[in-house]
Amino acid sequence: MAQYARPDADISDGDWLNQSDSNTNLYASIDESSASDSDYIKATDEGYGSASDIVCIIGLSDIDDPDGNADHKIKYRASDDSGVNAMSLKVELLEGSTVRKTDTNSSLTSSLATYTINLTTGEAGNISDYTDLRLRFTANDSSGAGSTCTVSWAEFQAPDAASGIVTSPAFLLFVDFVYLGLYQSLKKSVVVNTFLYFCRRIRK
């Protein structure tokens, strides 16, 4: 099984817009539990003949520490309307401001398609706070031709949380009492049995 961190906040909108040409609550256009292209965010190069980075940062929902470092991945749907791969999209997984994974896709198709970025176990092992994850999208039109990059859905996936052993103070105190009770009972039993043994020896 898996758990999913999905967009739940705008950290920085930059020049990205949603399907209604608004840069408010971008996360709500890419946060579906199942991929949907009905709403989306987009970045358009101004087309002045020079390439520039167009950046937004989207916060992800909290998940629990997973059971192990395998099977961590980023999934997203994106497209480039140039038809000649003019627009590239760099996707980064951030923990706070620290980059934990980065991947640049320079082969976006003109139709929205799903892409997967797999983290190595080493990269996943570097993550310490699964409640502070973010996705940074950086679109760049290498030709400066005015192309548009679209992202319609994104999520971060990790394994389910490990089955935890209860270690609350109240539980540990209960265990101590049980252990002490058993120990005292056993100790008493040993003393009594020893006494009875010697009594039987004396009577003989």
State whether 140 and 94 are in the same domain.
yes
For 115-128, how does the pLDDT look when each residue is reduced to its tens digit (9 = 90+)? 999 999 999 999 99
Range of the domain at 12: 2-159
Report the C-alpha gap between 132 and 153 in whole angstroms. 19
State whether 195 and 98 are in the same domain.
no
For 47-105, how does the pLDDT look when each residue is reduced to its tens digit (9 = 90+)? 655 568 999 999 999 999 999 999 999 999 999 998 788 899 999 999 999 999 999 99
Helix (H) or strand (E) holding 64: none
- Per-residue pLDDT at 182: 45
State whether 122 and 183 are in the same domain.
no
Burial of 76 (0-12, 13-18, 19+ CB in 10 A): buried
How many folded domains does the chain comprise? 2
Average pLDDT over residues 103-110: 96
For 163-172, how does the pLDDT look when each residue is reduced to its tens digit (9 = 90+)? 755 445 555 5
State whether 98 and 185 are in the same domain.
no
State whether 52 and 146 are in the same domain.
yes
State whether 28 and 82 are in the same domain.
yes
pLDDT tops 70 at residue 191: no
| Boundary (domain end) residue, out of 122, 137, 159 | 159
Contact 32, 149 (CB under 8 A): no
State whether 16 and 101 are in the same domain.
yes
Minimal CA–CA distance to 4: which of 138, 194, 113, 155?
155
**pTM of the shown model:** 0.78
State whether 130 and 198 are in the same domain.
no
Place of tokens 């059971």: 67
State whether 93 and 139 are in the same domain.
yes
Burial of 7 (0-12, 13-18, 19+ CB in 10 A): buried
State whether 66 and 100 are in the same domain.
yes
Poorest-pLDDT segment among 7-16, 72-81, 89-98, 140-149: 140-149
